């Protein structure tokens, strides 16, 4: 029976100094090292790259405890869902999965089921798990991943759901062990949280305020990754171009420092946003040879009225001028974006302004979404909702326009020669390798798995909307005509 943690919801705010809290957690981790040897875990991850990175830390902690990974649900002793709260559909999918695995728990009462990540940061989710999914054994959030070993230990001896969700983080926690599944590319967290409070977005409530890692710790991690043979790093944050504002430094300074680490061939970053995208940041991307010429720059809408309602903090004109400056300084740069249709109050005229912005910019690709109200955000209370039918129609129209520009961008690469990093074997054809250009274009190439992790040169032979096909060529045999 559980004695230390009340079966009711526990929302815990750290009450002891940061270093003491971390020291306490580290001590418990040490006690539990290897304690679960012989047991297996299955970790399912939903959502953004930040969640993927968190899952690497979760897996690292589990393997430190002695767990081994499995993909077989029936063989797992622990099934953990690392969740996303950005859209309602994502949450519903997770709840569906929790319901689906209930029979596994009935067949094996010793199986532990857990829910972590962004969803538990919402009070409504905490209460729903308690009332509707009592077979869930352990719940924790984004701010207390380091507490997971103790929570699992408690859950293994408890008849009630062990639920501990912190309202804020004690510190950036990237010193935790990581189980990286890719030996060529690595996520590197540089910044957590968001201070922007866009009216539609749940992230500031699930991830907390902006917090930057020190530049020294980031560069040290990248140096270690290079020594271990990694070729590409992606710098992660909710707003990477806000990096360092709390430390008296700037993202452009970090980008130059990471770009100078020997052995790292490529540096990517996500997500950057239009605000605080300085001229010096553009210059850093342009002049640092290892920084990839691909910028994801979410615009969300082409209407000033909707941008204001979203609290995005910039105008259509500002965004277009930023795009102009980026393309002028970085020729051939690939620009991608996020777009939302059907935001409350969006008229046909507002939507037309989004379409014209897409035509003006001609993005290489765009992630397009219908607006989904998130409980607890200001926009959820806006009254002038767009009908679901209208959202679907606008989304289809937007995708049709953008897909044309995406296809055109792909077709422009045909005949060019590009340097690509071989990422792995194609998911659909074991004789084909998945490679990627500096500008984030996926190129499929026939070749042996021994090429994985290498940078090679390919000639682009054909293109469809999202995928290129190519063949390997010797660098010396052709004039470089593209990347």
Contact status, residue 99 vs residue 66, Cβ threshold 8 Å? no
| Rounded-to-integer distance, Cα 396 and Cα 390, Å | 10
| Rounded-to-integer distance, Cα 179 and Cα 217, Å | 18
Which residues share a beta bridge with 295?
A: 335
Contact status, residue 84 vs residue 118, Cβ threshold 8 Å? yes
Contact status, residue 361 vs residue 390, Cβ threshold 8 Å? no
Question: Is 292 known to sit in a ligand binding site?
Answer: no
Contact status, residue 335 vs residue 363, Cβ threshold 8 Å? yes
Residue 339 three-state SS: strand
Residue 382 three-state SS: coil
Of 383, 407, 419, 155, residue with least CA distance to 265? 419
Output DSSP code: residue 471. E
**Beta strands of 131-283 (E only): which ranges?**
138-140, 162-166, 185-189, 191-192, 211-212, 232-236, 266-270
Residue 353 three-state SS: helix
The residue written with tokens 């869930």 in the block is 136
Question: Is 116 known to sit in a ligand binding site?
Answer: no
Rounded to a whole number, what is the largest CA-CA distance in the chain? 72
Instruction: Write out the binding residues for [4Fe-4S] cluster.
Output: 48, 84, 118, 194, 198, 201
Instruction: Write out the binding residues.
Output: 48, 84, 118, 194, 198, 201
């Amino acid at each position: 029976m559980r004695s230390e943690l009340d079966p009711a919801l526990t929302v815990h705010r750290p009450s002891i100094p940061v270093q003491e809290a971390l020291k306490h957690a580290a001590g418990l981790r040490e006690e539990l090292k290897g304690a679960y040897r012989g047991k297996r875990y299955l970790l399912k991850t939903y959502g953004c790259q930040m969640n993927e990175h968190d899952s690497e830390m979760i897996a690292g902690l589990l393997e430190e405890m002695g767990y081994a990974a499995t993909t077989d649900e029936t063989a797992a002793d622990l099934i953990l869902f690392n969740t996303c709260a950005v859209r309602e559909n994502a949450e519903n999918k997770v709840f569906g999965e929790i319901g689906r695995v209930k029979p596994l728990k009935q067949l094996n009462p010793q199986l532990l089921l857990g829910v972590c990540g962004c969803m538990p940061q919402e009070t409504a989710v905490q209460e729903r798990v308690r009332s509707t999914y009592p077979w869930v054994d352990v719940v924790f959030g984004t701010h207390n991943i380091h507490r997971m070993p103790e929570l699992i230990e408690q859950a293994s001896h408890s008849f009630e759901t062990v639920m501990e969700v912190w309202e804020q983080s004690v510190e950036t926690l990237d010193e935790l062990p990581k189980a990286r599944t890719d030996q060529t590319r690595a996520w590197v967290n540089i910044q957590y949280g968001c201070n922007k409070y866009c009216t539609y977005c749940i992230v500031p409530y699930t991830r907390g305020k902006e917090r930057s890692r020190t530049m020294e710790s980031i560069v040290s991690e990248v140096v270690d990754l290079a020594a271990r043979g990694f070729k590409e790093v992606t710098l992660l944050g909710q707003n990477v171009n806000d990096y360092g504002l709390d430390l008296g430094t700037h993202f452009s300074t970090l980008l130059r420092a990471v770009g100078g680490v020997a052995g790292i061939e490529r540096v990517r970053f996500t997500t950057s946003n239009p605000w605080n995208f300085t001229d010096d940041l553009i210059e850093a991307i342009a002049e640092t040879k290892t920084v990839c010429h691909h910028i994801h720059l979410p615009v969300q809408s082409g209407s000033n009225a909707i941008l204001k309602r979203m609290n995005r903090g910039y105008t259509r004109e500002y965004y277009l001028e930023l795009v102009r400056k980026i393309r002028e300084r970085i020729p051939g740069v690939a620009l991608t974006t996020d777009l939302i249709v059907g935001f409350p109050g969006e008229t046909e005229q507002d939507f037309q302004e989004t379409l014209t912005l897409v035509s003006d910019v001609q993005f290489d690709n765009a992630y397009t979404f219908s607006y989904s109200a998130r409980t607890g955000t200001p926009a959820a209370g806006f009254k002038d909702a767009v009908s679901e039918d209208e959202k679907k129609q606008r989304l289809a129209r937007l995708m049709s326009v953008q897909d044309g520009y995406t296809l055109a961008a792909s077709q422009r690469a045909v005949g060019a020669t590009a340097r690509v990093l071989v990422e792995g074997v194609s998911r659909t054809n074991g004789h084909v390798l998945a490679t990627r250009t500096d500008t984030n274009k996926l190129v499929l190439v026939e070749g042996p798995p021994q090429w994985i992790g290498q940078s090679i040169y390919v000639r682009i032979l054909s293109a469809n909307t999202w995928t290129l096909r190519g063949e390997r060529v010797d660098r010396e045999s052709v004039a470089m005509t593209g990347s």
